[in-house]
Structure 1
Amino acid sequence: MSLPGYLTTLVGRQQEIAEVVDLLQHPDTRLLTLTGPGGVGKTRLAVAVAERLRCLLEHGVVFVGLASLRDPTLVLTAIAEAMGLQDLGSIPLGERLVLSLRDRHLLLLLDNVEHLVSAATDIGDLLLACPRLQILVTSRLPLRIGGERVYHISPLPLPTDLDAPAEEVMASPAVQLFLERARASDPAVALTPDIAPIAARICARLDGLPLALELAAARTRLLPLPALLSRLERSLDVLTSGARDLPDRQRTLRQTIAWSHDLLDERERILFRRLAPFAGGFTIEAIEAVCDFDDSLGPEVLDALTSLLDLNLVHRVPGTEQRPRFRLLETIREFAVEQLIESGEESLVRRQHATYFLELAEQGAYALHQVEDRAGLEALEREHDNYRAVFVWLRAAATENPVEAALFAFRLSLALWWFWIYRGHWEEGRARLTEALSQVQLLGVLDSHSHAVALLDLGMLDYEQGDYDAAEARLAESARLAGEHGDRHTLCLALHYHGLSALYRSRYEDARALLRESVAVARSIGQPWYLATAI
């Protein structure tokens, strides 16, 4: 995966870049973790370091964004996907990853790992198996495994004297960043002698945190710097009783986001908190379906979204001009989650989110049954993190309503199986469907028709991964159940894949009989896709 690009300059980090580059060029540095509070600029610094090192490393740099991933067991899968690897049958994806990386002199940049630290052992094992591999991690806390070096990133330096002349104030990287971003919002902003101490105090109030400075700078279109400072001072005075176990700077970032949140009207606040369930981004259609289910936003939903964009609470994803896509920065998304919980709407909104993506998956599955729709597959891939977030929520929801959660997860797994097959997410699909099937069986809510479909899905995934014994057992049972219920679509595919497995294992007579029967069933269905698949 290519490194993220930025349209703005990186301010005040030259020394840190040089120090991190030097650490990574030391032969003993295999794992280096950049730590620091949310919003301090860990990702931006890491990308700048990677840009410096890319040409010096024989096999370059691979960027792996993990901010939207919620399942620690999928970290190696995410790395493999970033490497462009897919399952190729009987070799597990983890082994393929080791085979691919074992002899490469390469830097992996794992971005936003703090919520996935239980995957630290997997990361350590990967380093042990690949002697030339280096890993650069961004995280709010260290991984705490052997061989890890930690580099702490502090906020940008502030002026030593807040009342110093403008030239001295401007020497502060925090002030430089704030003014550069402020001028982007309002070109009239200038560091005059009377404004210099105000700018210095704004930066000091925000502790020099880059994200906080950028959020504040965005408001200079609306508020002159003296008014901006006054509002920040009042907001910080009110929000001084954050949790005692949070780092001071994290509390300040929370206060800054809360300050931006205070500028929203009620309609905009509703939209903001209801964006919390989205992982990896969202479209306008998704916003309308998930966030305006009760018509509380009305026809002005686009105006509310524009306000969130103006406040830098929502960002537009680059390269999505044809069908605009948006996302929340993870630190801001965490604040949105808090607001959603406080509103008492969390369960309702997360159910809306899950239902929307279930319907999207089922529509995509229907289209894929007619023809391999590449555009549809790409659309499902873009929403993959949202589907993963739904599965995480369903696990949590199972404590209150196990039957509803199990049936929902099972239905979603059945809808996504073609996507998992075509896009090579075999291990993940197999694990999710196996878990979902076991839950509905355990709860006694599995009907035989759905059982046949699930066995077909798992049998196909077994076949693709080279587990032919398991595949044939499941496919034979699927064919039996489908035949009993007259489900010719499932019967056709179960016979076809059973025949392919027999053919691969040189059981030619069995293969011929199964494949002929599959073709006969496909002809009786009368749909070209099934006949083309069977033939």
Structure 2
Amino acid sequence: MAAFDRPLNLTTGVMELGRFRVDLGTRELRRDGVAIPVGSRAFDILAVLVSAGGRLVTKNELMSVVWPQTIVEENNIHVHLSALRKILGPDRNLVLTVPGRGYQLCVQKTDVALTSWMGGSMRDANQLPSNIALVGRETAVQRILAMLESSRLITLVGAGGIGKTRLSLEVARRTEEDSVEPAYFVDLSGVTTREGMLDAIMKGCGRPTGGAGVPEKGVACALSDLRGLLFIDNAEHLIAHVAEIVDALLAANNHVRVVVTSRERLRISPEHTFKVDPLETPPAYTSQVDIRGHSAVRLFLQRANAMQLTVGADGQQLQLVGEICRRLDGIPLAIELAAARVAALGLDGARHCLDDRMAFLTGGYRTARPRHQSLRATFDWSHALLDHTERTLFRRTAVFDGLFTLEALGVVAYDATLSLSSAIAGIDALVAKSLLNVQFEGPRALYWLYESTRAYALQKLRDEGEVETITMRHEHHAVRLPRRAGADQLNPEPGSVRRSSPTAGHHALNWSAAQYGDIALR
């Protein structure tokens, strides 16, 4: 027989279930304030479910409490449950049957006594993690807070290391400061299974866990009285399961709001998406005053000077900082890792080491998650979530320097191992998972990679032994470009994120040749 998570106490506690009030001390059930006769066994069953606080109760648990030291048939449970549901009338679905597992109460509201039994006040149940002061995110924070006024579900989407967790923590902190309702924070980074995810959400909300086999609907019912803002962090590796529980929770609870951080969106109907962009980086040859005004530079200087360094004291140093931040695409994690290396290498040394950034950018905060200890670990996490087709397409995009079209990708990537249809699905997935960026020139989609993403993809291309084959395809395409019609010339409007030209392919090939000297350019 499975054991209860907490010792049952059927003599105290009061619970309100919509129109009903259950008093375990007086063994009384009231509807709209009027006492209703209930059979002894039916009330015992109700008392067990109430005392479980929304946790799933197995058949054996129920029988051991209601019929102690007595052997009875399972049909006895069905008879008394039927009588109880008849009393509940239109609210009969408050008592759920989970086929093959047991029974569960769809909790609506608990009083102080029962809440105390369940583990303390909700606000005290989940203290928000400590957060480092944000740099350059005030506009994003304000936009998300404004979205929460009309949206019940917001997913913060962005590449690994871009600062989704810190941004969500700041939103949670502001919410708690400005509201009487609490914020709950659930970190899924160390969770690997559906059951672990459901348990983490219950624990994060200060509720007893339901054990293995509890359906999403059961957990949603157990949290249907939750008030406030629920933050679910690092959802990408459990994205389908997170989508199911969030969808069920929002259907069961009209008062809770949910913020999810993920490298891809949940794709459920109530969802609104907020794309977390990199920090602002200065264009080349920006003035000293203007360089300091860019958020990526401010973050770099803050982290470097925290080690009692004097970085950015003159214009030459600021130009180096600006270049480093540009090459790191304004990604906060990469900027922090690079700033930490300045103490040993200096600015010029740090800049040169970016050519081997996967080996260079290590040594994150000791308290950070393992995948945030180095830039390579961050990309390894994302890469592990790709399927075979997505991995193939991802590494083959690495030969492009700057913008490229779907047609150009087709010339380079499609072969007997990667069909057009699977490649199109793969492109959609890479964009959705924040590994491939897209912008539009009129009706045409143009794609590009962050420089660090491209460096990682090139390493994967080398690991698979495809460098020579793919670079030769790309060189052939790049050589043909000047002879093609103007439709192949990529001329984004001024201010676009990336620029490209007919010679962009040769830059990619030269970069690859520098990295892997065994490739001969033709």
TM-score between both structures, scaled by the size of structure 1: 0.44
Compare CA radii of gyration and give the structure with the larger one.
Answer: 2
Structure with greater helix share of residues = 1
Task: Please identify which structure carries the higher strand content.
Answer: 2
Q: Give the TM-score of the pair, scaled to structure 2.
A: 0.46
